[in-house]
Structure 1
């Protein structure tokens, strides 16, 4: 990780001239203290970096010193390709720093006018993939998974299932799918003897093995994911249907917007009232929602739900001695 950051500093000084520690830290997503340490390391290694004082000062190479760091390598092209596909790495990962370096190299290959446009665009457009609430889970295994997929190396993983059980598996990673910023590795499981989907955030520990493998010639990542997604949607729909709880309610006003998210089977207007037949999935869900609306509704069916509301209302009245 440090090596890629040091290369990033060299390429930025080579392309942009004088840069202060604050701007270097912002671009490379590091602290200013880290940048100061990195500059010291580069100077000790013989890189002729000088410090310039004053309000417009910073660091730069000595006069007439240039390096040839702008040639895109195979790894750079792969990282640029992944980025163009929307596969963006987590912060503070090796892949993230490699992508930054590749973009800096790409920036250095264009004319001065176009370079200014690139810098301007990077300063004025920003994608924040973090959720509004809670904290985004950082996955430390993505670099190893990416290398394993590209180099066809087997992985030993410790995978935590949804129920909490952790399993040890030897897998052959055929590819990676990124959906809604979540990484999924599609791999042949040597225990189950079939291709399975592993959510990367549930991989607690990982080890890259020396043994190589070959991907079957008839395997297609996009087709496999499409079929798996259809099956997942089908199974989820079946599960929702099996957890059905239909209620019939009489509303004294049209409050259809409050039922958003539930499947409404029918709506009948009788004089100034509306009778809804709604699937609320479960008895507990119906209780929680409808009791809060009990001053505006009358539950007609099922009887157990109607009795629940009546019992709850009588209990509240007893507290007030009414």
Structure 2
């Protein structure tokens, strides 16, 4: 993710949360604390009023007079954007299909904040599952979650399940509220799963603060949880799996290629390398650079694209 994207995520996080620590920002953005302090310095140089509270219970906060309001498109404008994702596809010659879908998804989440708009979109049959959680505005949801965390009170959430295609009430002890990959999530203990889980705010139909008291476990690590559940935050990205063999294995393992990379050992000289990307155009040339030591496992369309390119190369050089 670019520095610009990280700065935007920091601004939005500070805008909705009273105080955020460097550790929390570091874990969410997958960068070290020194980078977070450089980001804060960059924001201050851009005249964005981010302040620092020193000490054990310190952190960063943004001036309450500063407010970056999410843009709100008209229903017609938003419909036209959503429809464009159905028309502009790679099959029709549009090479930025994945990037368009990712951008529209982020715009949609920031724009749809009330049930009236949801009902209008439901009639079109487009994205009906994703728009279920809009009985309360984004600001109202975030405010209640922050209050519940500050007071140590559990939340009662009416949450939409894609698997069940229905909503149900769950009791959640919120541990963290994070803005990640263009979306807001609350991470907390779920009484239904009897485990810590992730809840997408766009799928929260309504929520209320209960009188039940809870304490966040001292051994809970946000960083470990995010590493273990990285797939949850990449639903709108393309999963790319590459099998590396031979001499390339040691080289791949020696570097940090992407913030959400995952490496699975297959054997001494064979690994599966998994990343989630907005698009696959740049990674194609990178894969080809490893020659026979790299094999695309998924997605299938990328495997076919590389095969076609290899066939064309073979045709050029077969007479030499």
Bigger Cα Rg: 1
TM-score by length of 1: 0.37
Whose relative contact order is higher, 1 or 2, with alpha carbons under 8 Å and at least 6 apart?
2
TM-score by length of 2: 0.38
